[in-house]
Amino acid sequence: MDIIVLMKQVPDTEAPVEIAEQGNSLDAEDLKWAINPYDEFALEEALLIKENRDDVTVTVVTVGPDRVAEAIRVAYAMGVDNAIHINDEYDDETFAAADAWTTAKIIAKVLEETPYDLIIAGNRGVDDDNYQVPAFVSGMLDIPMITLVNSQKIEGSEIVCEQAIDGGTATVKASLPALITANKGLNEPRYPAFRAIMKAKKKAVDEREPEEIGLDAKTLGTTGAKVKIRTLEFPPERAEGMHIQGASPVDKAKELVRLLREEANVI
């Protein structure tokens, strides 16, 4: 059984970001990067399936520049078998402006020639927050998609999942091949040891440029993107707040309620 995990490297959520000089992307210079947290759940789930069967190959597929090699090493150290990296570093100007559509297009093209029974993706990327790549990939491949999966079980040629829906959960079933997206809480991702990550440097990565998988660069990046970033700005900074003084917690609470009523007019 072939499991594909879609992985994205994103800026570390705890780290501040800077906007690049040209104004429509982040300054990658001092940025700290990490595997998208939702993709860690996807990786872990694939590895858990692998541990419970003896016929599973886990392949991670990722799109991005050279730096993505770090994320691949972590994935290898966690236990994946293969990695496919579509590297767009060679043309940073074009590919800095990739969007969900162009990314999905690359992934779908890779999967035309890579066997898969199950694709696991994170429910969302915490960088662009587009919530689109899984839907686009499953649409392009014309396979079922089950979102926000809390637990799954493969039964023969079918997968049964419990997924989060509005106000509760649903148990649903689809035929393989299918794509599922990982909800937070699907599992507890393992943290590989530093040594394992260093050792993973030796692992081979199937690394290719988009043209090498048969895509025309003009249909990707800035020209192919359907949502194009014009500018990035920092949100307006909030003004220095007021420290509420008072002799006791009760006094402070009363003063806060007065201010919320009379000054802020929110209650």
Partner 1 sequence: MTKEILIVTELWNGSFRKISLEALSEGKRLATQLGASLTAVVLGASVEDQAKTLAAFGADTILMADDPGLATFRACEYTNVVAGIIGDRAPGIVLFGATRRGRELSARVAARLSAGLAVECAGFTLEENRLVATRAMYGGKVIATVDIDGDIQMASIRPNVFEVAKVPGNGKLERLSVDPGKSNVTVLEEKIEVSTKAELTEADYIVSGGRGMEGEDFSVLEELAAVLGGAVGASRNAVDLGWRPQSDQVGQTGKVVSPKLYIACGISGAMQHVAGMSTSDIIVGINNDPDALIFRVSDYCIVDDLFEVVPAITAALKA
Hey, which residues between 99 and 128 contact partner 1 (CB under 8 A)?
100-101, 104, 126-128
- Write down the least CB distance from residue 114 to partner 1, Å: 20
With beta carbons less than 8 A apart as the criterion, state whether 55 and 1 touch: yes
Distance CA 158, CA 84 (A): 26
| Residues binding partner 1: number (CB under 8 A) | 78
For residue 252, CA distances in Å to 112, 239, 240, 244 come to 64, 21, 18, 6
Q: Is 81 helix (H, G, I), strand (E, B) or coil?
A: coil
- Write down the least CB distance from residue 22 to partner 1, Å: 14
Question: In terms of CB distance, is 24 or 57 closer to partner 1?
Answer: 24
* H or E element at residue 135: helix 133-141
Stretch that binds partner 1, among 1-9, 64-72, 158-166, 203-211 (CB under 8 A): 158-166
- Choose, by CB under 8 A, the member of 65, 81, 91, 144 that binds partner 1: 144
The tokens of 89 are what?
């570093």
**Binding status of residue 249 toward partner 1 by CB under 8 A:** yes
Stretch that binds partner 1, among 41-49, 72-80, 112-120, 134-142 (CB under 8 A): 134-142
**Binding status of residue 154 toward partner 1 by CB under 8 A:** no
Stretch that binds partner 1, among 11-19, 54-62, 73-81, 200-208 (CB under 8 A): 11-19
With beta carbons less than 8 A apart as the criterion, state whether 110 and 87 touch: no
Stretch that binds partner 1, among 72-80, 110-118, 179-187, 206-214 (CB under 8 A): 179-187
- Choose, by CB under 8 A, the member of 119, 143, 182, 200 that binds partner 1: 143
Q: Interaction with partner 1 in 40-99: which residues (CB under 8 A)?
A: none
- Write down the least CB distance from residue 194 to partner 1, Å: 22
**Binding status of residue 187 toward partner 1 by CB under 8 A:** no
Distance CA 104, CA 95 (A): 14
The tokens of 104 are what?
């999905």
**Binding status of residue 22 toward partner 1 by CB under 8 A:** no
* Burial (0-12, 13-18, 19+ Cβ within 10 Å), 40: buried
Closest CA to 190 of 32, 46, 1, 53: 46
- Choose, by CB under 8 A, the member of 48, 174, 197, 213 that binds partner 1: 174
Stretch that binds partner 1, among 54-62, 74-82, 194-202, 249-257 (CB under 8 A): 249-257
Distance CA 190, CA 23 (A): 37
Q: Interaction with partner 1 in 200-229: which residues (CB under 8 A)?
A: 225-229
Residues 6 or more apart from 25 whose CB is under 8 A from it? 19, 96, 97, 229, 232
State the amino acid at position 113 in one-letter form.
E
